[in-house]
Amino acid sequence: MTNHSDEGSLGFVINRLMGIDLKEVARELNLLDESRPLPNIPVLSGGPVAPETGWLLYDPRELFLSHEEAVIEVCDFLHITTSKEALEFALSHSTLSRCMLVLGYSGWGEGQLNEEMKQGSWLGTDLGESILFDTDLDNRWSEAIQTLGINPMGLMSFSGFN
């Protein structure tokens, strides 16, 4: 979750690969330079809304974008931009590691997320930078849920025959 207000909410799924790689995206956007190696930036499926949009989630301490106007400053270790120029700049930094490209997003209208949280559809926790940038994709959900002190098996309900 990057923005949550009375008007609505914006967030991204950060543990689901999109099924395409960075080279394909760079080629599609005419940003591929075959003469230099690409950074290890995963391409993730950020949610069901507008999957044709690209969002660069990055640590501004590693990738400094000067004079970037279209940036959401979430916190000191996470900034977000939809700028094609920013992606092009990121592609030129082959050692970049604290960055991901997310296609699509998750969004909620006015009051919708609050109501879903009251119903127990979502749990909220602070997402630390180690989970975001240092934890493998497959372990991000379990690491985040552990910060709440909850056993994930206690969240599941089973029905059927015993």
Query: Taking the model in full, what pTM does it have?
Result: 0.87
Domain 3-111 belongs to what architecture? 3-Layer(aba) Sandwich (3.40)
Per-residue pLDDT of 50-89, as tens digits, reads 999 999 999 999 998 876 678 989 999 999 999 999 999 9
**Mean pLDDT value of segment 137-156:** 84
What ranges do the domains of the chain cover? 3-111
Looking at residue 5, its pLDDT comes to 85
Confidence of residue 98 (pLDDT cuts 50, 70, 90): very high
DSSP letter, residue 133: I
Cβ distance 104 to 14 under 8 Å? no
Sequence-distant (≥ 6) Cβ neighbours of residue 37 within 8 angstroms: 94
Mean residue pLDDT of the chain comes to: 89
